[in-house]
Amino acid sequence: MMPQDANNLGHVFGGVMLAMMDKAAAVAAFRHARRACVTASIDRVDFREPIHVGDLVVMKASVNFAGRTSMEVGVRVEAEDMISGLRRHTNSAYLTFVSVDRNGRPMEVAELVPETAEQKRRYAAAQERRRRRLEERNEEEAVQASAAADEAAEAGRSRSRAGAAESDCNDC
C-alpha cells in the first residue's frame, strides 16, 4: 500500500480497501458468469486490524453460491509485512453481484456445483445468508410501502381539510 492510500497515521483508508475488495470480487463473479457483473450489495464489513503503508495486501475471492442471476462472492483480505513475511487476516466480506447484459438487465448465470467439503460448507452458509438478505430486503420494502401509504393518506387528509376551509370561506 502506498502513502496516498492512507491517513496521516499511515493506516490505509477503509474506502480504499472496499474498492479493492469490490474489484477482486468482481473478477471472481465475472469469471463465473463470463459476462459483465454489477455489485448489488456488500454485507457488513468490519475492519478488525489496521493495514499499514508498505504492507502487501493479498485478496482471495471465491464465488460461494450462484442463484439465477446473482452470485455471492466471499473476499478474504490479508496484509503481509514485506520485511518479516508475516501475514495477518485483517478482514473478510461477502458481496453480491448480478450478471447483466449491455442494457443492465439481469442475465442467468451457470449453476455452481460445490464439490469439496469446503465448497459445500461455503455454499450452504451462503445460501443461508442469501435467505436472510432477502428477508431483510422484503421487510425494508414493506416498511417503506407502509410509510408511503401513510404519507399519501396524510396528504389526502390535508387536501380535504383545505377543501373544507375553502368551502367554509365560500359560505361566509
Residues forming contacts to ligand COA in the complex (CB under 6 A) are 38-41, 67-70, 96, 98, 100, 104, 106, 133
Number of other CB atoms surrounding residue 70 within 10 Å: 20
DSSP 6: B
What are 77-80's contacts with CB under 8 Å, separation 24+? 77/17, 77/21, 77/51, 79/49, 79/51, 79/52, 79/55, 80/55, 80/56
Q: How far is the CB of 26 from ligand COA (least distance, A)?
A: 7
Return the number of the residue (1 or 32) whose C-beta is nearest ligand COA.
32
Does the CA dihedral 120-126-127-129 come out positive or negative? positive
Q: How far is the CB of 7 from ligand COA (least distance, A)?
A: 25
Q: How far is the CB of 136 from ligand COA (least distance, A)?
A: 9
Which residue sits closest to ligand COA, CB atoms considered? 67
- Cα separation of the two ends of the chain: 77
Return the number of the residue (77 or 98) whose C-beta is nearest ligand COA.
98
Q: How far is the CB of 46 from ligand COA (least distance, A)?
A: 19
**Strand runs labelled E in 43-156:** 56-66, 70-80, 87-99
Return the number of the residue (17 or 51) whose C-beta is nearest ligand COA.
17
Return the number of the residue (54 or 106) whose C-beta is nearest ligand COA.
106
